[in-house]
Amino acid sequence: MTDGRLLAVSDLHVGVADNGPVLDQLKPTGPDDWLIVAGDVAERVDAVEAALRVLADRFAKVIWTPGNHELWTTAQDPVAVDAPERYRLLVERCRALGVATPEDPFPVWQGPDGPYAVAPVFTLYDYSFRVPGVHTKAESLARARDNGVICTDEFRIDLGPYAGVEDWCRERVAATEKALSAHDPELPLVLVGHWPLDRRPTDVLHYPDFAQWCGTELTADWHRRFNVAAVVYGHLHIPRTTWYEGVRFEEVSLGYPREWRRRGHPRGLLRQIFPYPGPPERPVPAP
């Protein structure tokens, strides 16, 4: 057992001017701290790798799961491969850095509150977080378009062999469910995904039509079905803590400069997941 902390952040978007320097401020409070990085590090493969290398050098352990931005194929990236191939490539680069990915055994954090198995999950979205009265993906996309809402993923994610992101999502959900079902039910889990595993965090979105790009109903019961101590996610750029059926959900995003300049970093740049600081949430003290 160590006296380290299990810390988390997401949506670093280090390629965005003014977010890059924030990376330099992400420091452990001691030699045993672990860091969860819940997706949207950057778009370019090399940029994701470089940022994770910096963090892996500082923290005792880094756990990563991809966000939608890691899956984008852009003209700026010399690595011009489709999203499934990008994911495989990123997993390889992470492994070379000693960073845990959704393809690896769950690392076990042994802290004062622990132990907890930290499970990075990669489950995508399938347009099932629809607004009331909308029943199909086609209807949902058409409604969003009419309202002037569309996620850039629609243009930037090259799905390669998959006909739709929902096919890849179903495959990811099935594989992840299998891994979670095989996990020792006595050892509590911290589930880490980029997209929220439950749709309720999307209830506060400014544009409700955007929720369809934010997750899948297929994971809605995971925090009840498995022995889950906390769920960590990002993507919404709405950092906060909510509780569902007694399980703590932590949205840990940094977000874009226009967002963090407005709201600041009221809970610190890194969210402390365990030991749980308790309500009211306290920022991680500066090192």
Interface with Fe ion, residue 19, by CB under 5 A: no
Interface with Fe ion, residue 67, by CB under 5 A: yes
User: Candidates 6-14, 72-80, 161-169, 260-268 — which segment interacts with Fe ion by CB under 5 A?
Assistant: 6-14
Q: Which residues of 48-85 are buried (b: 16+ CB within 10 A; e: fewer)?
A: bbebbbbbbeebebbbbbbbbbbbbbeeebeeeeebbe
By C-beta, is 56 or 124 nearer to Fe ion?
124
CA distance 47 to 54: 11
Cβ neighbours of residue 148 under 8 Å, at least 6 residues apart?
Answer: none
User: With contact defined as beta carbons under 8 Å apart, do 21 and 245 qualify?
Assistant: no
By C-beta, is 67 or 208 nearer to Fe ion?
67
Of positions 19, 68, 176, 212, contacts Fe ion by CB under 5 A: 68
By C-beta, is 15 or 275 nearer to Fe ion?
15
By C-beta, is 8 or 117 nearer to Fe ion?
8
Kindly write down the DSSP assignment for every residue of 6-63, as one continuous string.
EEEEB---TTSTTTHHHHTT---SSTT-EEEE-S-S-SSHHHHHHHHHHHHHHSSEEE
Interface with Fe ion, residue 209, by CB under 5 A: no
Interface with Fe ion, residue 248, by CB under 5 A: no
| Distance in Å, CB of 37 to Fe ion, minimum | 12
User: Candidates 48-56, 162-170, 217-225, 233-241 — which segment interacts with Fe ion by CB under 5 A?
Assistant: 233-241
By C-beta, is 235 or 267 nearer to Fe ion?
235
